[in-house]
Structure 1
Amino acid sequence: MKYVEQVKSILLTFLVLLSIIFTLLIWNYRPEYGLIEETQIEEVMVGEQKELKDVLKPYRLLYRQNGQFFGTVSPSVLNEIYSYFPTWQTNELELINSNEKLSDERMNEVIRANNRITMFFNEEIPFQVFTNLLSFNNDKDLPESSFNRLILDWSTVETNNQLELLFLNTEKRLLFRGYTNLRNTDRFLAEVVKPAEDYSPYVEVERDSLLSLYVSQNPIQSTRYTYLVDYISESLFKSIVFTDPKIVKPNKESEQSVRYTDNTSFMTVDTKNRILNYVYPLAESIAPIKSSKLLSDSFNYINDHGGFTADYRFSSMNIGKHIVDYQLFLHGLPIYSNMTTSRISTTWGENRIFRYRRPFYTIATANEINREREQKELISGEQVIEYLRNTKEYSFKDIDEIVVGYHFTQNEAFVLEPSWFIISNNVFKQISPERTGGITDGLE
C-alpha cells in the first residue's frame, strides 16, 4: 500500500506525457489531399458572339443639309459613323426642356435644322446601356432616361472642332444635349458628311399636330432574294436552355411539334416554321426591372451562346412585362413575317430567363440561289403617301412609320420579297399600292 501514491504519480506523469505527444502529432499532421479536378463545362455556341453596337443599330440615317433631306439604310455607312464613337467623349449632357414637354412641331424642327444627321432607332435606348458605345464624362450621374433619335449637329465643327449631340425621346418628349470634340474635323466631314450628297433624296411628310414622316423621293431599286434553308440543330438549344440536358425527355405532340421537358421547364419546337419556345414557369415575375438592366440581361443571355446568328437589331421593349424583342435585318432592311419567324424575343424572370422564343434557321448569303435573284423597282415614297392619303383602308394619322422591308415566306427555300410597310403601334402592315387592296400581316 505504501507504493500506491508513487504508482499514481508515475501513471499521471505518463498520461500527461502521452497527451503532450498526441497534441504535437495533431498539430504537425499534414494529410495528403488528392487533387480535385474542376468539372469542365462545355460551352455550347450556335453562332459568333457580338458586341452591343451590333444590336443597337438605327433603321435609318437621315441627313439635312442645304435645305434638303438625304437618307440611307446602308450598314456600311452606319458602321462608318459608329467607328468614330470610341474616340468621342460626350461632355455637359443636360436636359434642355426641363420645364415643358416638346411639341410635335418642335421635335420636327429639331430634325429639320440644317447640318444634322438623325439616327432613327426603333425603340428607346437607355443612356446607361449606350455608354457601351459612347463615353460620357458623367457616366455615374447619367439619368435613368432614354432616347430613340440621336442627332449629330456639325454646324460649328469648322470653327471649334466641336460636334453637338442631341438625344431626342419622341415618346416622352424629352431632349438632351451634349458636346464632343473631334480629333480630325476634315476627316469627319470628308468621310461622313460629304458622301451624303450621293444618298437617296428624301422628303418630309408634315402632318397637323403629329410627327413628320420621311420617305424616299424617287422609286427604289431593290432585289427579290431566294435562299436555301439552313437550320441550327434543336439539340444545341436543348443543351443551352436546360440546366441538365441529360434528363430532358422529348414528346411528339403533333406532326410538326415536339415538346422537351425536364419536369421544371419545357421547350416546344415547331418543326415546320422552325421556331422554338422555351419557358421556365418558376421564374415568372412581375417585380419592377429598370429598362437598362432588362436590356442588358436580355442581350447578355442571347449573346452568351452566340444567339444573334444574323443581323438582329433591338426593336422593342415592354418594361412592365419584361419583354425585349430583336428584329431580323438583311442588307439594312427589316424582314417581316406573319409567323413572327423573323424575331428573337426574351422575357426576363426572377434573376433568370423566363421565356425565350426564336427561330432556329439562319440566312447566309453563301446559300443564296443566284438564278432566282430578281431586280424589282418599288414606287417612290411620295407615291406611297399619295396612295395612303386617298385610300380609306388605312388611317393616315395613326401611322408611326413608313419603311421598305422584306416580306418573308418559307417553303423549301426562303423568299424575301421587297415591299413597302407601314408601322402602327409596333404592328406592321404590308401595303401594295400597285394593286387594289394589298396584303396585310400583323406583328405585335
Structure 2
Amino acid sequence: MKYVEQVKSILLTFLVLLSIIFTLLIWNYKPDYGLIEETQIEEVMVGQQKELNDVLKPYRLLYRQNDEFFGTVSPSVLNELYSYLRTWETSELDLINTNLSDEKMNGIIRTNNRVTMFFNEELPLQVFSNVVSFNDKAIPGASFTRLILDWSTLETNNQLQLLFLNTEKRILYRTYADIVNTDKFLTEVIEPAKDYSPYVEIERDSLRSLYVSKNPIQSTRYTYLIQEISPNLFKSIVFTQPKIVQRNIESEYSDRYTDDTSLMTVDTKNRILNYVYPPAESIVPIPSSKLLKDSFDYINDHGGFTGDYRFSSMNIEKHITEYQLFLHGLPIYSNMTTTPTRIITTWGENRIFRYRRPYYSIATEGEVYREQKELVSGEEVIEYIRNTDDSFKDIDEVVVGYYFAQDEAFILEPSWFTISNNEWTHISPERTGGIIDGLE
C-alpha cells in the first residue's frame, strides 16, 4: 500500500494534463462551416407595377370656352394634362367656402376659361399630392371630387388658379400654380379642346347639373380573347405560407384554397377570386388617405393593376376601396353582382382583410373583332330618361361605358349608363327600347 499515494499523484497529474490538452484542442478547433446562403423569397408579379397617379384619374375632362362646353375621355389627352400637373408647385391652399349651393357649384364649372376634371369619388388632398406638389407644410385632411383649372389670367400673370371642389361636402379650396411656358400650355392643352366633342349642360332645379354630349357618339364594339391569370399565382401572393395551402374542387365552377387561418375561393366560370383573412377584421377608424394608400400599395406590390384601373369608390367606415376597370377612356360595367370589372379591397388590422378581383386581363393584342357603332346623343338620352324614369332627380351622372359580357371571349358593348349612389343602370334608348339592367 506504500505506492498508493504515488499512484494517486500520477493519476491526478495525468487527468490535469488531459484536461489541459482537451481545453487547448477546444480553443484551437475551427469547424469547417459550409457557406449558408440566404434564402431568397421569390417575388410573384401578375402585371406591371404602376405609379399612384395612374389610378387617381378622372373619368372626364370638360372645357368651358366662349360660353360653350367641350369634353373628352381620351387617355392621351388626360395623360398630357397630368404630365403638366406633375411639374407644378402650388401656393398655399386656401379654404374659400364650406357651404356651397348646387347653383354656386354649377356656376363654378360654367365659368369661361376653365377645364374641370370629374372624379368618381372624394379624393384626399394628401393623396393627390402625389400628382400635384402642394407648397404647404400641412396639407388639410380634406378631399375633392372636381379639380378646376382656371386659365383666365394665365397670359397676364403666368398663373393658373386651381380650385378643389367637393360636390358632396360643398367645400371649395383654392391655390395657384406658376406656369413657366404659358404659350406651350395653351397650345398643347387648351387650344385642342375646340376639336373635342361639344357638350351641353342639363340644368335641374335646385340640383347639380349633368353634362352630356350634344351630338351622336361614334364608338366601337370590341371582342377580345380571354387572357387568364393563373389563380395559383394569387395563391402565392395572398397566403403567407403557400406551401401548406390545400386546394379543393367544390363544384364544376368553384375552387377553394385554405390554410389554417384564411380562405381563397375561385369562381372559375366568371374568373373572380375572393380572399379573406378573418383574424385581421377590424373596426378601428382609418383616415381616408391612409386607407387609399394602403390599398394601392397592397395591390401594386404584386402588379395587381392588370389594366387601366381607376380609384372609383371608398367606404371609410367599412374600410373598403374599389378600383374600376377602364378601356379606351370608358368604364367597363358588368351585370354580375360579383363585380368582375372591379378590384375591391377591405383593409383590416395592419393588413389586408378581404381581397376580391377578376383574374383576367384585357390586352390590345387579344382583340379579335371590332364593329363600329353609333350611340344617340346625350341630349336624346336625357329626354328618354325624363320620359321613362321618375327618379331623374336622383341621378348623379350619365356616362358612356362598355357593357361587359363573357363566354368564350369578352364582348364590350358601348352603351349609355346612369349612375346613382355608385350603382349603374344600363339604358338603351336608341332602338332596342328601355332599361336593360342595373346593378352595383
Q: What's the CA shift for 1:389? A: 1.1
Q: Structure 2-normalised TM-score? A: 0.92
Structure 1 gaps of 5+ residues are: 1-14
- Which of these residues, 240, 246, 250, is aligned with residue 237 of structure 2? 240
CA distance in 2, matches of 1:210, 1:196: 27
CA distance in 1, matches of 2:412, 2:86: 35
- 1:256 paired with 2:253, answer yes
Contact 2:396 2:419 in 1 (8 A): yes
Q: What's the CA shift for 1:308? A: 0.3
CA distance in 1, matches of 2:372, 2:344: 32
AA aligned to 2:194 is: E
CA displacement, residues 205-256 of structure 1 (integer Å, 9 cap, x when unaligned): 0001100000000000001000011100110000000011110001111110
Correspondence for 2:126: 128
AA aligned to 1:358 is: R
- 1:203 paired with 2:200, answer yes
CA distance in 1, matches of 2:114, 2:35: 64
- 1:155 paired with 2:152, answer yes
Correspondence for 2:113: 115
Correspondence for 1:346: 345
Correspondence for 1:86: 86
Q: Structure 1-normalised TM-score? A: 0.91
Equivalent residue runs for 1:39-188 within 5 Å:
39-97=39-97, 100-138=98-136, 140-188=137-185
CA distance in 2, matches of 1:390, 1:242: 52
Structure 2 gaps of 5+ residues are: 1-15
Aligned residues: 418
Identical aligned residues as a percent: 75
Q: What's the CA shift for 1:86? A: 2.4
CA displacement, residues 45-65 of structure 1 (integer Å, 9 cap, x when unaligned): 000000111100000000001
Contact 1:249 1:262 in 2 (8 A): yes
CA distance in 2, matches of 1:92, 1:32: 65
- 1:414 paired with 2:414, answer no
CA distance in 1, matches of 2:221, 2:66: 35
Correspondence for 2:396: 400
The 1:394–1:50 alpha-carbon spacing in structure 2 relative to 1, beyond 3 Å, is farther
SS of the residue aligned with 1:205? strand
Correspondence for 1:3: none
The 1:203–1:262 alpha-carbon spacing in structure 2 relative to 1, beyond 3 Å, is same
Q: What's the CA shift for 1:105? A: 0.5
Contact 1:157 1:185 in 2 (8 A): yes
Correspondence for 2:187: 190
SS of the residue aligned with 2:331? strand
- Which of these residues, 289, 293, 297, is aligned with residue 292 of structure 1? 289
CA distance in 1, matches of 2:262, 2:435: 41
CA distance in 2, matches of 1:72, 1:47: 28
Contact 2:149 2:160 in 1 (8 A): yes
CA displacement, residues 293-325 of structure 1 (integer Å, 9 cap, x when unaligned): 000000000000000000000000000000000
AA aligned to 2:75 is: P
CA distance in 2, matches of 1:365, 1:214: 30
Contact 1:337 1:407 in 2 (8 A): yes
Q: What's the CA shift for 1:348? A: 0.2
CA displacement, residues 351-391 of structure 1 (integer Å, 9 cap, x when unaligned): 00000000001101111113xx1111000000011111111
CA distance in 2, matches of 1:33, 1:127: 56
CA distance in 1, matches of 2:156, 2:30: 75
SS of the residue aligned with 2:188? helix
CA distance in 1, matches of 2:199, 2:242: 53
CA distance in 1, matches of 2:120, 2:247: 38
Correspondence for 2:373: 376
SS of the residue aligned with 2:436? coil
Equivalent residue runs for 1:246-325 within 5 Å:
246-325=243-322
SS of the residue aligned with 2:350? coil
Q: What's the CA shift for 1:39? A: 1.5
CA distance in 2, matches of 1:79, 1:29: 67
CA distance in 1, matches of 2:84, 2:372: 34
CA distance in 2, matches of 1:425, 1:256: 32
- 1:442 paired with 2:439, answer yes
Q: What's the CA shift for 1:37? A: 2.9
CA distance in 2, matches of 1:29, 1:312: 62
CA distance in 2, matches of 1:87, 1:50: 19
- Which of these residues, 406, 424, 429, is aligned with residue 428 of structure 1? 424
Contact 1:337 1:441 in 2 (8 A): no
Q: What's the CA shift for 1:87? A: 1.6
CA distance in 2, matches of 1:333, 1:437: 21
CA distance in 2, matches of 1:332, 1:356: 25
Contact 2:314 2:322 in 1 (8 A): yes
CA distance in 2, matches of 1:178, 1:220: 36
CA distance in 2, matches of 1:384, 1:414: 26
Correspondence for 1:6: none
CA distance in 2, matches of 1:310, 1:45: 14
Contact 2:425 2:435 in 1 (8 A): no
